[in-house]
Amino acid sequence: MKMNKVQVDLSEVSIEKNKALRMYKQGYRFVGKHSAIKVCEWCKRSIKNEEFCYKQKFYGIHSNQCIQMSPAVFFCNFNCRHCWRSLNFTLPSNDFSWDPPEKIFYGCIEEFKKYLNGFFGSKKANKTKLKEAFEPKHFAISLSGEPTIYPYLPELINLIKEKGMTAFLVTNGTHPEMLKKLIKKAEPTNLYITLAAPDVETFKKECCPIIRDGWEKLNEGLELINRFSCNTVVRLTLSKKTNMIYPEKYSLLIEKSKPKYVEVKAYMAVGGARKKMGIDAMPTHKEIIEFAKAIEKNSKYKIINEKEDSRVVLMREG
């Protein structure tokens, strides 16, 4: 029997339509030219009463009410080896026309609800949690791409918070000019800066930057962390093949930036990362704990929490 082709309106999307269609089949739902949501597995599992994201355990957000999204889903200045997205990221042109924050905010909520409609037919779904999901309380600005590229990010974060929602921003830290704007205009609830290398040599191999001064920009971003009053997190994403080395060097960078929290997390062999690095590059939870203990020995930060199924450890200055 011949299968019908997926019919989806991709007229606004600013990327090749065949690539956008592949992403759609993977669960992405597009909003305007450059934004998207994807209902993450933790949200789905939470609705089915199975498990929840480590962010719920560490920071109290509810996985079933969390919208995973990005306002720059196609654009990044890194092509990290550990990244599970396989987009071969580029940067927007100087004259690129950006969508307004209101379109992104309301569009993401609409697409999130549309996707969840299918769960009403599932016997596994907890109907109370599903109804709660239709009143989302949280934006995780972390799906794909580098969100600080979006020029109206302060306005988007302010809109999210004005609606009584929380916003976790995950960035690679290489746009310090945007971080400075956020300090003045729109601090998120949590600011994450991903640290995937202990030194410049490893950084170039692991993060594959498409800008020349990526390491310098990252360090400038790390230096801005202690100017934020919100929760700040330095997250180490570690692979056994490339960057799970020199804990003392990571410790120096952490001590220098002084975040409120540190997350030591395993690279996960999913999506495009599976082909680039493979399953054997993924640390076990035990190995993550041992690496966190090495950071303890070289810094003031101590282990305060963990979630084994996410292979992540939470640290705070002791």
For 246-288, the pLDDT digits (tens) are 999 999 999 999 999 999 999 886 666 666 677 888 899 999 9
pLDDT value at residue 4: 42
pLDDT tens readout for residues 85-119: 665 778 888 899 999 999 999 999 999 999 999 89
In a domain, 161, yes or no: yes
pLDDT value at residue 22: 84
Let me know: does 315 contact 262? Beta carbons within 8 Å.
yes
pLDDT value at residue 3: 37
| Structure token pair of residue 58 | 């560490």
Tell me the backbone φ, ψ of residue 141, rounded to 5 degrees. Answer: -85, 80
| Structure token pair of residue 310 | 């996410």
Let me know: does 236 contact 264? Beta carbons within 8 Å.
yes
In a domain, 11, yes or no: no
As a whole number of angstroms, the distance between CA 312 and CA 46 comes to: 18
Q: Which of 189, 255, 265, 268 is nearest to 223 (CA)?
A: 255
In a domain, 137, yes or no: yes
Tell me the backbone φ, ψ of residue 194, rounded to 5 degrees. Answer: -80, 130
Let me know: does 235 contact 195? Beta carbons within 8 Å.
yes
As a whole number of angstroms, the distance between CA 38 and CA 120 comes to: 18
- Decide the pairing of beta strands 138-141 and 35-38: unpaired
pLDDT value at residue 1: 33
Q: What percent of the chain has pLDDT over 90?
A: 78
In a domain, 72, yes or no: yes
pLDDT value at residue 77: 92
Residue indicated by tokens 């990362």: 273
Alpha-carbon distance values, 131 to 51, 120, 126, 207 (Å): 17, 9, 9, 40
| Structure token pair of residue 289 | 């704990």
Alpha-carbon distance values, 148 to 59, 154, 163, 170, 260 (Å): 22, 9, 21, 9, 21
In a domain, 66, yes or no: yes
Let me know: does 261 contact 301? Beta carbons within 8 Å.
no
In a domain, 12, yes or no: no
In a domain, 305, yes or no: yes
How many structural domains comprise the chain? Answer: 1
What residues make up the domain containing 98?
A: 17-317
* pTM for this model (two decimals): 0.93
In a domain, 100, yes or no: yes
Spans of the chain below 50 pLDDT: 1-6
| Structure token pair of residue 220 | 């400038």
CATH of the domain at 223: 3.20.20.70
Neighbouring residues of 182: CB distance < 8 A, sequence distance ≥ 6 = 153, 154, 157, 169, 188, 191, 228
